[in-house]
Chains A and B, each alone.
Chain A
Amino acid sequence: MGEFKVHRVRFFNYVPSGIRCVAYNNQSNRLAVSRTDGTVEVYNLSANYFQEKFFPGHESRATEALCWAEGQRLFSAGLNGEIMEYDLQALNIKYAVDVFGGPIWSMAVSPSGSQLLVGCEDGSVKLFQITPDKIQFERNFDRQKRSAIHKMIVDRQHMGVSKRKCIVWGVAFLSDGTVISVDSAGKVQFWDSATGTLVKSHLIANADVQSIAVAEQEDSFVVGTAEGTVFHFQLVPVTSNSSEKQWVRTKPFQHHTHDVRTVAHSPTALISGGTDTHLVIRPLMEKVEVKNYDAALRKITFPHRRLISCSKKRQLLLFQFAHHLELWRLGSTVATGKNGDTLPLSKNADHLLHLKTKGPENIICSCISPCGSWIAYSTVSRFFLYRLNYEHDNISLKRVSKMPPFLRCALQILFSEDSTKLFVASNQGALHIVQLSGGSFKHLHAFQPQSGTVEAMCLLAVSSDGNWLAASGTSAGVHVYNVKQLKLHCTVPAYNFPVTAMAIAPNTNNLVIAHSDQQVFEYSIPDKQYTDWSRTVQKQGFHHLWLQRDTPITHISFHPKRPMHILLHDAYMFCIIDKSLPLPNDKTLLYNPFPPTNESDVVRRRTAHAFKISKIYKPLLFMDLLDERTLVAVERPLDDIIAQLPPPIKKKKFGT
């Protein structure tokens, strides 16, 4: 199948931000997640938990609350004292409204979904009416102005030791009048709101209980503790066939190492996130009807988009962080070896450049040109283009100034294979083509979105001859443009699941598209139809183990000398699909890490199938072919991430 030299890179020092809030939307089965750096992500739980949208973070905008209202509108509030609404189509912030109450610590939506209530630093609670295109201030509840009906005093005692303060981290008000509180003393308490009395108290942790979420039916809720434990409480009958019910702590789950800052309760799963940056989705087995892959525990750690680009010619890697870019040159070796060998380095990898952004905004996307002479990146408000000059070991950087006003916010940037053209997908839905020559640039054309749609394009692919440009949004099909004639060539039929990666094969100009349900399609751009191979694959179906992988394919590339090969990877495997070989059926072994030994060629040929998989590199954030015999793999071991997190609460293993 082929032997490769693999540059195994582990110096991409990426640490995801901790999760601050999660909000589940039952209508669309989507989950909004906000992180401590202000990033907001939207996961489509129906599309194999794919992270289909994201809004870049902002240094001054720590999100403290996140909620869905009015059906599928997403709002957040944070320490900058503003309520924001997100435009889920154009992928930008619709507006931000200052509530004039200082930092906002909490936000809730009324049961009807038409009003927002925020709790501010100055002690006031403010009510906003949600109008079709904005929110409108309605009234203010000042601290202590209205006399409290009941005062429930939470016991500060904890295991006999009185803490300085007991903070109630969360409350839930059920329709039957029960109030549930979770506090820093590790207690979950049930109160009767009519009398203001404590009904029941569960001591569940030695540390803070930080979050609570109640199921829509109000028959179950979930709490998260600072020890990383998530507890499930359920309302169950006291005895069989009695109508009297009581809250019982049913299941503890320990999927986190650090504070569980936030929890959510979908009809079929418990969702939790916290400081350890994992988003954990734990299905409730009694609610899952079919034992399919949705019944499995999901732990999402890495973004489902690419943070790395690569210059093949100069063997450079560009790493994207929240507020800076790093440029590295790969090392080299002259040695050869057999499978599994680590070769001695004749030159180590070099850190060439550390490019810090100005301003508080996070980087949305970045790209280095294949020739290595251009770097482009974008934040929400500015687009940056740099020209790089290499003189022996010295590298000089020059910013291309005077960017045109329409190039302000890019969702995706791509250079053509010969580095003469730059393609930019803007958040207005337009695709810009820019001609690069020498140190200057010229705007060639803008493909405007089809009238009536504002859907942002988040994925781009260009053919190696530079003639075709494919662009995909989050839901509609993939559009293919003719770059020479500057017009829309065709649209690949829309598919139920979002596109996670795509690429155009050299020579044949076949567009290979991977979807979040793990399907891979091959579409011939010149013929405007699916290729025969793609039809065969669809007819026979993928191997069941292939369909059960739980991370999306994030990158597709091709071998320059072997047109039958498609290279693709997700976070846990790297695969070469050889279209000339038969497809595996469910009875064949999909993943065979062992070389055929002592077997005749006949057996080997008989058992060989199209999918050649390697699981050596994981978690795999990026993999590409540098040349015919060289691969680059960027890994980010979880241990390295954990090492950079604050230490978790220490639990003694022995003794008391």
Chain B
Amino acid sequence: MVSDQKPLGSWSVKQGQIITCPAVCNFQTREYIVVHDNKVLRIWNNEDVNLDKVFKATLSAEVYRILSVQGTEPLVLFKEGAVRGLEALLADPQQKIETVISDEEVIKWTKFFIVFRHPVLIFITEKHGNYFAYVQMFNSRILTKYTLLLGQDENSVIESFTASVDRKFISLMSLSSDGCIYETLIPIRPTDPEKNQTLVRSLLLKAVVSGNTRNGVALTALDQDHIAVLGSPQAASKECLSVWNIKFQTLQTSKELPQGTSGQLWYYGENLFMLHGKSLTVIPYKCEVSSLAGALGKLKHGQDPGTHVMPRFVNWETPQGCGLGFQNSEQSRRIEDSEKHIEVEVRKFLALKQTPDFHTVIGDTVTGLLERCKAEPSFYPRNCLVQLIQTHVLSYSLCPDLMEIALIKKDVQLLQLCLQQFPDIPESVTCACLKIFLSIGDDSLQETDVSMESVFDYSNSVHDEKMEEQTEILQNGFSPEEDKCSNCDQELNKKPQDETKESTSCPVVPKRAALLNAILHSAYSETFLLPHLKDIPAQHITLFLKYLYFLYLKCSENATMTLPGINPPTLNQIMDWICLLLDANFTVVVMMPEAKRLLINLYKLVKSQISVYSELNKIEVSFRELQKLNQEKNNRGLYSIEVLELF
């Protein structure tokens, strides 16, 4: 604690003046620099007593921060994004400062690094919920702009940033309002500085702080493997400081701060500084070399971390003496660790962006990973595979094993992604996916994280009973009165209310609906698909048919015959699949008493479709005649004399 120590020096500005930028020390001259009232620069040293009398320079633009690290002159970052060296600025304080960032774009955070003895400045801006990263290289004077993509959770607000560098990347870590820490890798040498590039972020740590706390959240990187987070872990609990090992995803240590903090956290020279209540708290913290034993808490405390020279990943290779159970956990730990490692490498590769042989490298990477998956059943680098699939360059024929393994693992999320991304999935595989999608239990579906993009929230439509009753009339002019199956109609009308409800509420849970939609969207050839459809159990066929019928009813609710939502199945896809399923399984389904009603409904549906199509064909012919008439009208005869003026 420094509370009982005397400050070495204290300076204050005049009443009315406001300090707008933290004071920094110019390590080269041992002077201090501060900005007040946005534009006024003050420079002084330890001997100066009165700030009013020290060197003063009024600048032409407002300063965001002054940044200083050891070994180089301080930099001044202006609110409009321009950067100046302090010396150059002092030579002509009134020089014109250009505007770099756009209107309404606000700088949120900045950091200054030395990479290979060259200063690199990064700053993050925000505009209407979008975040941008700017990297300024001082040796080449290149400013590169990146757009940060927030991924699935587009609405989250980034609360705090920190960054560390290694050889090629700036690893930008951000703490989002959802309480998770994300990592974004920014290449130091930009591939194409002219282009506006985008960066994706990936989840690093989940729920380290509660998503509800609005203030007092901060994070800072301690070294490559450790980060310190300030905030409350659960909604109700007190705020605390926690140190996480990101490599092993473990909590290293944690300390409660009952008097609350202000969301400010610094780490200088193995000391963590933070505000605790009204005092500045200093906690010495030295990161140990990250090791699994340490992460598991097996490292004996008190052992000098300096002598701990265990190479990474080696100590788990020789656990002969341990029991079987332990070995298993070691084994799984090792695999998890290796998966994590691969994931990081893949992310780094993807961040480097498209090389000419990008396709082949991605293909080879996947093939390599899958070979290992086959050799070691417990190895399954899921996140990695997801990222590779999302590069849009993979196809089924490039890595047929991928879906095979996902099918064995019943990884419906990955299968859904494959169905969405691969253009060339054989029908047998599509059908195998369909089988899993229909048979997987609702409870295991709950745990999965499938993309719900194609599913519209159908639940509210249950209340639209009135709308439902109208569906029959809205079938593009087809009137059910003409239906010759009047017996069935009567039978239908007699059915109690709950039966009608069956067709109006979605027969499957939304997640299953999303998976089935992926099947509906996939390309197929009837000839090859039909034999495989025969292998699906009858009750699953009935379930799928019910879902398709439900979709059809939803489609016919509006005049354009489309479903709401992003990328929903089209009416054609729905109809084709109904026909396919019936073609393949009619003899089985017709024997099932519970499917009788559904079949009657489908019969009516197909009949109505046929009449719709015949009407459409009629309309097409009449339109063509109209078009001919119109053309003749437009022809204006074979000969005319017109006036032309050329300008």
Residues of A with Cβ closer than 8 Å to B?
1-11, 238-241, 331-333, 336-343, 345, 348-349, 576, 592-596, 612-614, 616, 631, 637, 639, 652-655
Contact = CB atoms under 8 A, between A and B. Distances in A.
Contacts of A9: 638-639
Nearest to A631: B644
Contact of B642 (A340, A593, A654): A340
Contacts of A241: 360, 364
A331 B645 CA distance: 20
- Identify the 10 closest CB pairs spanning chains A and B, nearest first: A655-B613, A339-B645, A11-B638, A654-B616, A240-B363, A612-B646, A1-B646, A3-B645, A10-B638, A240-B360
Contact of B646 (A340, A614, A639): A614
Interface residues of B, number: 27
Contacts of A594: 647
A614 B363 contact: no
Given A239-B363, A241-B360, A639-B631, A8 B640 contact: yes
Interface in B309-337: none
Given A240-B360, A631-B644, A653-B617, 19 more contacts: A1-B647, A2-B646, A4-B643, A5-B641, A6-B641, A7-B641, A10-B635, A239-B397, A239-B398, A332-B641, A342-B636, A345-B639, A348-B639, A349-B639, A595-B647, A653-B616, A653-B620, A654-B613, A655-B616
Given A5-B641, A241-B364, A343-B641, A655 B610 contact: yes
Contacts of B364: 240-241
Given A240-B364, A654-B617, A341 B643 contact: yes
B646 A338 contact: no
Interface residues of chain B: helix, strand, loop or mixed (majority) = mixed
A652 B621 CA distance: 11
Given A639-B631, A655-B616, A576 B639 contact: no
Candidate in B635, B636, B638, B644 with the most chain A CB atoms within 10 angstroms: B644
Interface in B442-472: none
B614 interface: yes
B642 A6 contact: yes
16 contacts: A1-B646, A4-B645, A6-B641, A8-B640, A8-B641, A10-B638, A239-B397, A240-B359, A240-B360, A331-B639, A338-B643, A342-B642, A345-B640, A654-B613, A654-B616, A654-B620
Nearest to A4: B644
Contacts of B637: 10
A154 B635 CA distance: 49
A293 to B, nearest CB: 26
B360 A6 contact: no
Contacts of A1: 645-647
Nearest to A11: B638
B398 to A, nearest CB: 6
A332 B640 CA distance: 9
Contacts of B636: 342
Given A239-B397, A240-B359, A3 B644 contact: yes
Contacts of A338: 643, 645
A341 B642 contact: yes
Contact of B644 (A6, A239, A654): A6
Contact of A10 (B398, B616, B639, B645): B639
Contact of B643 (A3, A10, A592): A3
A342 B616 contact: no
Contacts of B617: 652-655
A247 to B, nearest CB: 14
A567 to B, nearest CB: 10
Contact of A6 (B359, B613, B620, B643): B643
Given A11-B638, A342-B636, A655-B610, A240 B643 contact: no
A459 to B, nearest CB: 27
A379 to B, nearest CB: 28
B644 A339 contact: yes
Given A238-B397, A652-B617, A340 B643 contact: yes
A1 B367 CA distance: 69
Nearest to A595: B647
B638 A345 contact: no
A338 B360 CA distance: 65
A10 B636 CA distance: 10
A593 B645 CA distance: 10
Nearest to A639: B631
Nearest to A576: B646
B641 A345 contact: yes
Contacts of B359: 240
A443 to B, nearest CB: 39
Contacts of A339: 643-645
A342 B363 contact: no
Contacts of B613: 654-655
Given A240-B398, A241-B360, A5 B645 contact: no
B374 to A, nearest CB: 16
A639 to B, nearest CB: 6
Contacts of A336: 643
Interface string B601-629: 00000000010011011001000000000
A55 B546 CA distance: 67
Nearest to B424: A248
Contacts of B610: 655
Nearest to A343: B641
B397 A5 contact: no
Contacts of B645: 1-4, 338-339, 595
Candidate in B614, B639, B643 with the most chain A CB atoms within 10 angstroms: B643
Interface string B141-173: 000000000000000000000000000000000
Candidate in B360, B610, B631, B641 with the most chain A CB atoms within 10 angstroms: B641
A613 B641 CA distance: 19
A3 B359 CA distance: 60
B642 A11 contact: no
A238 B397 CA distance: 7
A337 B613 CA distance: 50
A580 to B, nearest CB: 15
B643 A337 contact: yes
A605 B647 CA distance: 11
Candidate in A336, A594, A614 with the most chain B CB atoms within 10 angstroms: A614
Nearest to A340: B643
A612 B647 contact: yes
A206 to B, nearest CB: 14
A620 B469 CA distance: 59
Nearest to B525: A203
A652 B617 CA distance: 8
Interface in B5-44: none
Contacts of A10: 635, 637-639
Contacts of B363: 239-240
Contacts of A592: 647
Contacts of A654: 613, 616-617, 620
Contact of B647 (A238, A340, A341, A596): A596
A631 B614 CA distance: 51
B620 A8 contact: no
Contacts of B642: 5-6, 8, 340-343
A596 B646 CA distance: 11
Contacts of A653: 616-617, 620
Nearest to B628: A643
Nearest to B362: A240
A475 to B, nearest CB: 35
Contacts of A349: 639
A336 B610 CA distance: 58
A614 B631 CA distance: 23
Contacts of A613: 646
Nearest to A333: B641
A531 B367 CA distance: 68
A230 B641 CA distance: 42
Contacts of B635: 10, 637
A433 to B, nearest CB: 36
A219 B635 CA distance: 47
B496 to A, nearest CB: 36
